[in-house]
Structure 1
Amino acid sequence: MNVRIVYRHYRPLHDLYRSFLIEPPPQVSFAIPRTMRAARRLYPLYLLFGDWAPVRSVIAVAQDVLFGTTGAPDRADLLHFIQMVPLREPQRPYVVDFEHAAALANFVRFDESTRKRIENFFVHRNCRKIIPLTRAAEQSLLALLPDLPDDVRGKVEVIYPALPNHTKQGEDDAGPSSTALGNAGPKFLFVGNDVYRKGLHELMRAFRQLEAKYPKAELHVVSNAPTELKREYASARILHYDPIYSFDEMIDRFYLACDVLVLPTHCDTFGMAILNALSCGKPVVTTDQFAARELVRDGENGLIVRSRRLLLNEICAPDRAITRAFVTRDADPLLVEELIEALERLCADRAEIVRMSRDAIKDFEPGGRFSIGERNRKLANVYAGCADYRENPAR
C-alpha cells in the first residue's frame, strides 16, 4: 500500500515519525515530500502576525498551495495528514494525526471559521481515521470540538509515537553510551530550545543550590540558552552544548551517556526529549502538564514535579500570542523547590535511578505502548480499513 505523507515540509519530518523512516508497517510504502527549506523564510511573519484574521486566511491558502495535496500521485492509496488540515477535503481516503488539536489550526487563534473547517474535514466520508498521538491530545480535540457527531467520534483512535529500544545500541557500543554511576555523581541532562518555556532557568537554579551537597553531580545542557542565562548560573558542573547534533548523535553522545533527563517544561504538547530518554532507558523528571503522565509514571520510570505555571493545564488552546505572553524569565518558586527535592532524591539514592532505568525501557519492548511493532500493528489496521473502503466506497 502506498501512503502519501502530507505535512508542512518546510523542515524535515519530525522525530515523532521517525519510525516511518526506519521501520514502516509491513506492506506499506510511505511517500514523504522533500523538505522545502525556502518556505521557512515565511515563518517569522507567521509568528508575528499569525493571529490576525486576514493573515490566517493567507496562511491557510499558502499552506494548501505549498504543502497540500495538489498533484498527489495516482499511486497513492491514501493520504496521511500530519498535524494539519487542508482547505478542501481530498477526493481519496485520508487519515489525520495530531499531538494537540490546536496544531490543526497552526497554533493560531481557534476561531469559528477554523473550527468549521476542521469539523468538515472530520465529517467527510473520505476521512477514515482521526489519530490523536496521546489521550491528552484526544481530550484537547473533544474540548475544542464538543459537538462532534457520534459517528465522527467513532473515527478517533489514539496511536502513540514509537522509537526503537536504544539500550540495545548502548550495549553494542563501547563509547560514551555505557554510563556507570560508580562513585561519580549523576549526570542530569536537559535538551531543548525556547529555554524559558521549558524551565531551564528553574532547573539551573535548583542545581546550583544542590551543587555544594553533591559536588560530583553534573548538569549537561543541549540548547540555545542565551548568554545572560549561562552567566547567571555559571558553574563548572553545568556544561553547555550548542544544538547542532543529529538525532543519532544526540542518542549516542547525550541520552545514552546521561543518567536522568530533566525537562521541567511549562508548555509542551508532547515532549520528544522525554520519549528519546525513555527509549534509552533513562528516567525522566518533568512537570505535571498535558500528556506527561502518559509518558512518565511517577515513581516508576521517573518523577513528576509540580509547578504553578502550566499553560496547557490552564488554557485548552492557547494561540502563539498567549504563549509568548505566558513565558517569563521569572522562576516559579514551587517548581524550583520541587526540582531540588527530586534531584536530591536521585542523588542520594543511586539504586533508585537504576530501578527506574529498568522500568523506563519496558514501553519500548515488544508489545509496549511506544514500541515500533505496536505502532505498526495499529497503523496497519487503520490503513487496511482505508484500502477496504477504496474497494467498497458505499460503506
Structure 2
Amino acid sequence: MVAFTAEHHDLRKLVRDFAEKEIGPYADEWEANGIFPAHELFPKMAELGLLGLEYDTAYGGQGADHLCTVILHEELGRVGPAGVAMGIGIQTDMATPSLHHFGSEELKQRYLVPAINGEAVCSVAVTEPDTGSDVTALRTRAVRDGDDWVINGAKLYITNGTQADWICLLARTADKPGYGGLSQLVVPTDTPGVRVQRKLDKLGMRSSDTAELTFTDARVPVSNTIGEVGLGFYQQMSQFQNERLALSYAAVGGMETALTRTAEYLKTRQVFGKPLIDNQHLNFTLAGLSARVDMLRHYNYAAAEAYIRGEDVNRFATVGKLEAGRLAREIAATCLQFHGAVGYMEEMWTARYFRDSPVWSIGGGADEVMLYVLSRLDGYHA
C-alpha cells in the first residue's frame, strides 16, 4: 500500500482547491477560445510551488518525491478541463525533465528557473508532418556553423506551441541514420526564423493550444544543447517515460470524476417512475468500470513507488498509458450513453469528455506503439 503522508494529503487539498478556484470556473470560456492563458495561470501555480515539485531547490523546485507528482496530475485531471491539465503537464513533466537532469548549469538558470517560477511557458517539439511515432525518422536538422546551430524544419501537434517562450526541440545534428544523430536543443521562440505556422483546430482538448511550428535558418548557440550532442534520442525516451506516467495519473482523476458525475445524474433522472440508477445494468456497469479505475490507480501507485526506488519503470509507464487510453474511451462513451440525449449536447460535460478522451490513446505514444514496446519487453516478438 502506497504510503501517503499528512503532507501528501495537504498537497492534494491544495491542488484540488486551486484547480476548483482557478481552472474549473473557466473551462467553458477556455474551450470556446481554444486556449487557456498560461502566462496568467502558471505564475499562480508557481506561487504554490506546483511547477517544479520534484526539481532541485537550487532552481526553485520543491525537492519533493514522485508521489507529489502523482497527486498533482490526479487532481488536475479530476477537475478538468483535460486540455488545461495536459498543457500544465507539458510544463512540469514533458518539456523540462531533460533540462533538469542533463542540462548545463547555465541552461538551467536561464530556462529552467523561469519555467519553475511561472515566468516562462515551455513546450516540447518532437513530432513532424511526416514522422509521428517513428522518432528515428525526424528530418528537422540543426547544422553547426561556428558556435551556433542553424535549424531548418517543421514540427507538428505541439501543445503550448502558440504560447511557449522556449521549446525543448529534438533535431538531427549529424548525418547518422536512425537515433544516433539526434540532439535536444533549447530554442527560444523569439529566435529569428522560428514561426508559429498555424494554430491547429482539434476535435478535443480544445482548451489547450496546439501548433505547427517552422524553423528557417534559426540560430541558437551550441551551448543550448541539452546534455551531450547525439544523445538526444535517449534523453527524449526518458522524457517520454515521465510523460506517459503523468498522462496515466491524470486520466485516473478524470475517469473518477466522470463516473461520479454520471452516478449523480442517474440518481436524479426519473424514468418509468424510478431513478435510472435503480436499473441494475446501469449500476453494475458503473461498478465494473469503477473497479477497473481503482486497479489502474493502484497500478500507478506501484509505478510511482518503483520510480522512487530508482527502478526501471518503462514497462509500468507503457502498460499504464495503454490501459488509461482504452479505459478513458470506454468510460467516456458509457457516460455519454447513460445521459441519453442531453449527454450528446455541447452544453453538457459529457460531450467535452467524449471528445477529449481519444487523445489518451494517441498523445505520448499511440496504443499501437505501446503494444509494440510491450511485445518486445515481454518477448512476444521474433
Between Structure 1 and Structure 2, the one with more helix by share is 2
- Normalised by the length of structure 1, the TM-score is 0.24
- Normalised by the length of structure 2, the TM-score is 0.25
